[in-house]
């Protein structure tokens, strides 16, 4: 059964939070929710924009091509967040690829319905504009700082980005709720896999983190912030 926007409990979803009640049934009629397994592509860089996406459950990485056979992770997204908006305007081509990190459910809203909705809902339009502006500023700041950082600082910044995106385990306030693979951390930091392994080992020996398999436990978040000049990323 299709979930109704009118009764949705995802209160931080842009549609649920800022769309007027009169428009929610229309969105509900046209939206489609699909299941994605880990590694599944939701949309690809270079595809024509057909609509925007809202994450109902799960975690997603947004990547851009960087070099041949490599990727650069530009964003991490979770439940209630929007995807596909980077393709709006101009040639209407997605400049990035969205890939599921874990089992996820993502809702697709056709672009014509989305456009009609934002035109008819000023509060939704305004808050989307603020979201785009904040995301752009964060991305610009991160790119500038990453270009000046040493490897250990880039790894610290990547960990802080993961913390900001996904937070800590609800039952363990030091354990990341989700830890990307070491290869994915290298794609966030823009350094090699081997360098990530080395720098994580140094941080562990310094008592800043503890690694257990893939998982990371953060013992000293303040030290990571100091390495990055207290930037939250």
38-77 tens-digit pLDDT: 999 999 999 999 999 999 999 999 999 855 567 899 999 9
Better-scored residue on pLDDT, 182 or 91: 182
Same domain, 140 and 175: no
Torsion sign (Cα): 163, 165, 166, 168: positive
Measured over all CA atoms, what is the biggest interatomic distance in the chain, rounded to whole angstroms? Answer: 57
136 within a domain of the structure (yes/no): yes
- Cα separation, 22 vs 15, in Å, equals 12
> Do residues 118 and 48 both lie within one domain?
yes
88 and 65 together in one domain: yes
The domain containing residue 183 runs over which residues? 149-227
Cβ(192)–Cβ(124) under 8 Å? Answer: no
Same domain, 54 and 131: yes
Are 106 and 33 in contact by the 8 Å Cβ rule? The answer is yes
Does residue 162 lie within any of the structural domains? Answer: yes
Task: Please state the length of the chain.
Answer: 233
At 175, is the secondary structure helix, strand, or coil? strand
DSSP H/E element including 143? helix 122-148
* Confidence class for position 191, pLDDT limits 50, 70, 90: very high
Question: What's the gap between Cα 6 and its chain centre?
Answer: 25
pLDDT tens digits for range 82-128: 999 988 888 899 999 999 999 999 999 999 999 999 999 999 999 99
Residue 67's pLDDT is what?
56
Tokens standing for residue 36? 């994605």
**Helix orientation angle between 193-205 and 151-166, rounded to the nearest 10 degrees:** 80
In a domain, 232, yes or no: no
Residue that is written with structure tokens 């056709």 in the block: 110
**Low-confidence winner among 62-71, 208-217, 219-228 (lowest mean pLDDT):** 62-71
């Amino acid at each position: 059964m299709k979930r109704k926007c009118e009764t949705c409990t995802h209160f931080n979803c842009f549609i649920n939070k800022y769309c007027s009640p009169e428009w929610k049934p229309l969105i509900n009629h046209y939206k489609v929710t699909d299941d994605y397994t880990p590694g599944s592509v939701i949309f690809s860089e270079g595809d024509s924009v057909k609509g925007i996406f809202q994450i109902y459950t799960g975690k997603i990485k947004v990547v851009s091509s960087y070099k041949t056979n490599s990727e650069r992770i530009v964003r991490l997204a979770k439940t209630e967040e929007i995807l596909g908006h980077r393709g709006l305007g101009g040639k209407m081509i997605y400049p990035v690829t969205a890939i599921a990190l874990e089992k996820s459910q993502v809702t697709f809203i056709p672009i014509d319905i989305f456009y009609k909705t934002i035109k008819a809902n000023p509060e939704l339009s305004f808050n989307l504009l603020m979201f785009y502006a904040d995301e752009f500023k964060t991305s610009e700041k991160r790119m500038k700082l990453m270009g000046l950082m040493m490897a250990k600082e880039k790894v610290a910044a990547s960990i802080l980005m993961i913390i900001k995106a996904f937070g800590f385990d609800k039952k363990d306030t030091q354990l990341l709720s989700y830890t990307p693979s070491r290869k994915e951390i290298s794609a966030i930091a823009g350094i090699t896999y081997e360098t990530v392994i080395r720098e994580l080992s140094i941080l562990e020996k310094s008592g800043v983190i503890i690694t257990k398999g893939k998982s990371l436990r953060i013992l000293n978040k303040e030290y990571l912030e100091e390495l990055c000049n207290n930037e939250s990323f």
